[in-house]
Structure 1
Amino acid sequence: MVGMMNDSTGGDFILVGFSDQPKLEKILFVVILISYLLTLLGNTAIILVSHLDPKLHTPMYYFLTNLSLVDLCLTTSIVPQLLWNLRGPAKTITPIGCAIQLCVSLALGSTECVLLAVMAFDRYAAVCRPLHYATFMHPRLCQTLVGVAWVSGLGNTLIQGTITLQLPLCGHRRLYHFMCEVPAMIKLACVDIHANEIQLFVASLVLLLLPLGLILISYAVIAQQVLRIRSSQAWQKAMRTCGSHILVVTLFYSTITAVYIQPNNSYAHSQGKFITLLYTVVTPTLNPLIYTLRNKDMKGALKRLLGKDPR
């Protein structure tokens, strides 16, 4: 089998990244380093607080813990290599490192897409079925839904990752990106990649647009339910319940769909790598802030663990 990863004659891949803008590289290094440290701190705090505080042993925080774990692993699969390349002239990544980065980031990105849909379903149950919420969202169902999200990500990687890494590479190994990502990698192949682009588009429909469609349906039903009550209090309660998730979904999907639904368009311009930077680095940093700043339960749990709230 001749493919991108087992062609040993070409050496390491070159991640061009932002090397055409040296001044921007220095700024990005500082911003991304701070962002990564905040990601580690924020998401680790959510995982620990949700685990240690009994009041947070609910479906919502079970899903949130998994989201934080996905974000932690996703950024860690990308940012250390990115920081290394930003700080010096060397912009290389080994073939094995590139394959690992591609597979891990693809699996986790796909998992997050499905997990956000699962969390929207949970919010639907909380708003539209409040009296039966505890029995409806029982632990076994929650574990099954999370399992589906993780398996979906793994399955997508086994299919897309394997196909991409098997493509023959005959020319240069310069990736005009800061990471090994499918839309950028398939451009290195020396064969017709039209079939690969179709396959990528179909996979994106299933793992991006289908979950997004389910999210929109969930919130459409929630909005219909709240409007039927015609109460400002009901509307405020629904926004408290769903507001954080809506913000997270908006941040994540508005960027990742731009890359994967029309990879030719996004990668034909330099904006492609900036868009990728948003959903791989910025969004995982903002998610913990969104969920803690807008969430009284999480803020209360943090105070209790820090000994500032005796209740």
Structure 2
Amino acid sequence: MQPDTANQTHTAEFVLVGFAELRETRLFLFSLFLTTYLLTLVENLAIIVLVRFDPRLHRPMYFFLTHLSCLEIGYTSVTVPKMLAGFLGVAGSQRISYAGCLTQLFVFTFLGATECFLLAAMAYDRYVAVCLPLRYAALVSWGACVRLAAACWLGGFLTPVLPVYLMSRLRFCGPNVIDHFFCDASPLLALACSDVSLKETADLLVSLAVLLASSAVIAASYGRIVWTLLRIRAAAERRKAFSTCAAHLTVVSLFYGTLFFMYARTRVASCISFNKVVSVFYSIVTPMLNPLIYSLRNREVNAALGRAVSCRSWKGQ
């Protein structure tokens, strides 16, 4: 039975526990996550710079890739710096205000949803390139690319509006310790002292809507791509066509695999520690891996990187 509303005091701030249970290895974890974060920044900035200054990469596929790199930088920067400060024991690093917590939740959800929509747009781009090559210039014009990218960012921005609004309507009057390294919905709901059933239902429906809508576009696009590839008789042409999709398909598999596990279910999770490990994977590890996947599996990106390095070496002589 909940206490009387008049006796309840609203929580003004939260304490992020992070990985306090691994205190003995905090310096090792700090070094590991700092290295991962710096690699994420360098790799994604390198992709943005390469596409910006290499005319051979001024194509829709790489236009979307720069947006993905911007998302990855924002995605990690929302959570990692504060987590790193917590490992070092910086004063106030584990504390976050109520408004700051909701803002972090909003931005993190916004960027994650935008990435879902952007990966769907990239799948559509690959579908047109493989299945409708003669109509590619008309269907994926620069105007269409800008509109698609704008729709992805707008859809991502609108996604957390209702969930975060409902979170703001909950009362937090008891313990203020969040067993996580950022303000995610599940550990926040565990601290609420009011009915969370409406919030849980809204979260589940919004998560499923974003994940199912974007994954349906991806599945339909790759279904048509596979069908087209099966009808190509020449093995060399088939491999070439598939190579243009391999990197994107790998990134989609990593990103959606963890997201479906985390969010397409009831938000008050039973195993917080395991959720933190999964959260590390999709919010820290995946943004570092994505640029590597694209560069290792894409000859054009590798060639552009080679040209940039050789040009810089020549200028340095």
TM-score (structure 1 length as normaliser): 0.92
Rounded to whole Å, the distance in 1 between the matches of 2:268 and 2:242 is: 35
Structure 1 residue 153 displacement after superposition = 1.0
| Matched residue SS, 1:229 | coil
Rounded to whole Å, the distance in 2 between the matches of 1:127 and 1:38 is: 32
Q: Deviations over 1:240-273 (max 9, x none)?
A: 1000001100111111111111244745342101
Q: How many residues align?
A: 304
| Matched residue SS, 2:310 | coil
Residue 29 (structure 2) aligns with: 28
Residue 274 (structure 1) aligns with: 277
- Asked if 1:240 is matched to 2:243, the reply is yes
Counterparts of residues 158-237 of structure 1 (less than 5 Å): 158-237=161-240
Residue 113 (structure 1) aligns with: 116
Residue 296 (structure 1) aligns with: 299
- Asked if 1:255 is matched to 2:258, the reply is yes
Residue 4 (structure 1) aligns with: none
Rounded to whole Å, the distance in 2 between the matches of 1:11 and 1:195 is: 23
Residue 15 (structure 1) aligns with: 16
TM-score (structure 2 length as normaliser): 0.91
| Matched residue SS, 1:230 | coil
Rounded to whole Å, the distance in 2 between the matches of 1:84 and 1:222 is: 46
- C-alpha contact (below 8 Å) 2:254/2:286 kept by paired residues: yes
Rounded to whole Å, the distance in 2 between the matches of 1:262 and 1:105 is: 18
Rounded to whole Å, the distance in 1 between the matches of 2:32 and 2:61 is: 31
- C-alpha contact (below 8 Å) 1:175/1:184 kept by paired residues: yes
Q: Which letter maps to 1:228?
A: R
Q: Which stretch shifts more, 183-192 or 67-76?
A: 183-192
Structure 1 residue 194 displacement after superposition = 1.3
Q: Which letter maps to 1:301?
A: A
Residue 4 (structure 2) aligns with: none
- C-alpha contact (below 8 Å) 1:259/1:267 kept by paired residues: no
Identity of aligned residues (%): 38
Q: Deviations over 1:108-153 (max 9, x none)?
A: 0010011001100001011111122122200111111111110111
| Matched residue SS, 2:231 | helix
Structure 1 residue 156 displacement after superposition = 1.1
Residue 3 (structure 1) aligns with: none
- Asked if 1:147 is matched to 2:116, the reply is no
- C-alpha contact (below 8 Å) 1:121/1:215 kept by paired residues: yes
Residue 132 (structure 2) aligns with: 129
Unaligned runs of 5+ in 1: 1-6
